[in-house]
Amino acid sequence: MNRTTLSLIGAATALAAISGVAALTGGSSDDAGSAGKAATRLPVQRSTLLCPTPSTSDVSSTTYTAYTPKRDGVDAKDGTAELLPAQNAADDVTDPGGDGKGDKNDKSGKDGGKGGQAASGGDKPVLPLKEPGKPVTTDVSSAGAPALIGTADGRFAPGWTVQQTTTIDAGSGRGILGTACTAPDTDFWFPGVSTDRGRQDFVHLTNPDDAAAEVDLKLYGPSGRLKSATDESITVPPRSTLPVLLSTLTDQRAESASLRVTARSGRIGAEVQAVDQKAGSDWLPPSAVPSSSVAIPGIPKDATSARLVVFAPGSDDADLKVRLAGPNNSITPAGHESLHVKSGMTAAIDLGDVTKGEPGSLLLTPEGGEGPATPVVAALQVTRGKGGDQETAFIPATAAIERSATAADNRTKGSTLSLVAPRAAAKVRITASAGAGGGSPVSKTYEVKGGTTKALEPPRPASGKGPYAVTVERLSGGPVHASRMLELTQHGVPMFTIQSLPDDRGTVVVPEAGQDMSLLNDD
């Protein structure tokens, strides 16, 4: 076969491929030779969410709330949204370098009272949605409740949100533990973890796929990388969850440390459950991706202490300016005007009752000087109450809302929404959905001044009953970062949890393709 014949075959193949593209995109001969068209933003067609194992405490209960906002341009008929139980792999995991018998080498933390109870999987769907715009909710006993792997497609995929809220009435870790179930990924940062003797921190790894995932866990303290007990990765079996006690990964103790979770193969969901022996417990979500400017939204006005933890993952040190954005302006916390973070090391500072009775948000920006700014990850540990009535929660660095974000499981009382505009003023629309037991949605528009935090009680559905969702839409202006606090005082303890609200990524940019016959030119 000569070169001419090969060229003809290649041209015919290319022409067929181009014709196929034109058919898929609805192209016509009038589009031939046209330049690339502008991209179109379309609703996502599929979403995956992972919920960690809530708790193994016998005095705990968990409420799940699922919700998908109504969206324009979405097919109003097709689609499903539901979650299925994951298998618990804790009983099969031992230290990769150990004797295989468990005991002190067991990373699942069975000897610490967590992760040792296997939860049976199954195929019974949890929280199936019937229609967008109306949340569904269910209550379960947390003891033995499994982690969940969920998928939404079609009309339920854009903005699908699931909230997991656990109440532990007594004992170690008593308090409210809340988290928004997260999408799987390959890289997570958790500044604010601890291997101290007063803390038991578990990273929950959930694998949603049909192949095993290989995961690396690395801890960094105030002097750099904490010496690891093993250099081998951890295997998370298919469609399984695995809790790993962080203090079993190293013999070094650090009050404040940073954890990096990296999937060598596959993808996972990762969240840290932090249990403080004196100050309650909560979920620590991952920080936003490393950035030179960081926003940590939603410090309660009655916070009795706040501990800032920052890590610089790059090769350069970071010099940061620390500001508190309050209701009226931004100020510099007294004695904490700046923070120097060495490369590969975790820095932590105690800010005390930094809000002084007013709600606020922390803003970290480059100190100045020449050269590019150094990206960092950060989180804030917040405490309310005093003495034996303390309760703790975590706020990670949170990405801005590009278009919309949703917090499910809001209650008639005890919900506070915090919005911060680090630079320019912004206008947002806040919509309360119908309640799980009925009602009608209600929307209100607010303006957030640049450099300030607006803390407000979100709108409530008209005649609504049961938990409801709140959706924040940025309408105009500068970037907006948000979080939602849910509080419930019991026996004098100000129990609370805070969930950050990054963009829900309910839409995706899709470039429009067309015929380009110039591909067939023979140069």
pLDDT of residue 105: 39
Query: What predicted TM-score, i.e. pTM, was given to this entire model?
Result: 0.86
Residue 116 reports pLDDT greater than 50: no
Contact call for residues 107 and 94 (beta carbons, < 8 A): yes
Stretch among 53-57, 153-157, 359-363 having the lowest mean pLDDT: 53-57
Q: How far is CA 435 from the centre of its chain?
A: 24
User: Can you say whether the dihedral through the CA atoms of 27, 33, 34, 40 is positive or negative?
Assistant: positive
Domain limits, the chain:
46-509
Higher-scoring residue by pLDDT: 364, 36? 364
Give the CA distances from residue 196 to residues 85, 192, 276, in Å, rounded to whole numbers and listed in that order.
32, 12, 10
Residue 466 reports pLDDT greater than 60: yes
pLDDT of residue 508: 86
Mean pLDDT of all residues in 36-42:
71
The one-letter amino acid at 465:
K
- At 369 the three-state DSSP class reads coil
Other C-beta atoms lying within 10 Å of the C-beta of residue 350 = 12
* Exposure class string for 486-496: b at 16+ Cβ within 10 A, else e: bbbeeeebbbb
Residue 25 reports pLDDT greater than 80: no
Each residue's pLDDT tens digit, 487-502: 987 777 889 999 999 9
Contact call for residues 97 and 232 (beta carbons, < 8 A): yes
pLDDT of residue 141: 82
